[in-house]
Amino acid sequence: MSSVATAPRLRKALKRAAPGLSVERQLWDAGDDVVVGVDEVGRGSWAGPLTIGAAVLPRDRRVNKVRDSKALTEAEREALFDRVSTWCRAWAVGHASDEECDELGMSEAQRLAARRAIEALGVRPDRVLVDGNWDFVGGGITRRIVRGDATCLSISAASILAKVSRDRIMRAEADHYPGYDFELNKGYPCPRHKVALRGMGPTAIHRRSWVFMDHLPWTGVARLVAPPPLDPQGALFPL
């Protein structure tokens, strides 16, 4: 079945919010051939992995209707996933598990997931575009773009790849941990998730260094303490 037929019809609110290729074109013109858009999902979740998406876009083809994953519904993201993944010149996702989030701390876990995603691309980046103010990739080849997931097409594509990949993991985990509604909340805090935690305690995929553990009735599960972050300027992969 053609992926074109599955493209969602954009809601009116999204039609004027299209991300562009101006940053990528500027870098391509300057000689940077492999420009990687990177975005993160799952940092604020209480359970499950932290996931980084990485996308390298082609210069000569464009897929319409790509938007920041947070602006799309779950059905819209799922419908776009195959279109985005087949359109990309290269793409990958990297994960840091709940255990790694606890053992390393969230900042280092984000670096680890980014390294895994970039190494899995199979191409060496000339430039990496990251969403937000923090350079969690390092190596002197990054450009930080505030609201990049909404304005930069390669970051928007990476956001869809990361979000759909992680959501699928959490829906699968819901079968193993009934009552926590992971298929709905994807591990993020919400009233039903909090009630489940108070009644049944944390699961094996909850991040036990997080402060929510302090507010649970005693379950016999110890609160972990995450280590302080390492040097924020360190590179994640050899240059």
CA 68 to chain centre: 11
Starting from the edge strand earliest in sequence, which strands make up the sheet with 50-56, in order?
90-96, 50-56, 35-41, 127-131, 142-145
Q: What is the largest CA-CA distance in the chain?
A: 59
Residue 2 binned pLDDT confidence (cut-offs 50, 70, 90)? very low
| Structural domains for the chain | 3-171 (3.30.420.10), 172-215 (no CATH)
Per-chain mean pLDDT for the chain: 88
Bridge partner list, 65 = none
Q: Specify whether the CB–CB gap between 57 and 156 falls below 8 A.
A: no
Lowest mean pLDDT among 10-14, 63-67, 197-201: 10-14
- Report the DSSP pairing between strands 50-56 and 127-131: unpaired
Lowest mean pLDDT among 40-44, 45-49, 211-215: 211-215
- Report the DSSP pairing between strands 127-131 and 142-145: parallel
Q: What does the alpha-carbon distance between residue 229 and residue 119 come to, in Å, rounded to a whole number?
A: 22
Segment 77-107, tens digit of pLDDT: 999 999 999 999 999 999 999 999 999 999 9
Q: What is the mean pLDDT of residues 215-223?
A: 70
Q: Specify whether the CB–CB gap between 219 and 202 falls below 8 A.
A: yes
Backbone angles phi, psi at 13, to 5 degrees: -65, -20
Residue 1 binned pLDDT confidence (cut-offs 50, 70, 90)? very low
Q: What does the alpha-carbon distance between residue 14 and residue 28 come to, in Å, rounded to a whole number?
A: 27
Q: Specify whether the CB–CB gap between 110 and 132 falls below 8 A.
A: no
At residue 5, the pLDDT reads: 40
Q: What percent of the chain has pLDDT over 70?
A: 84
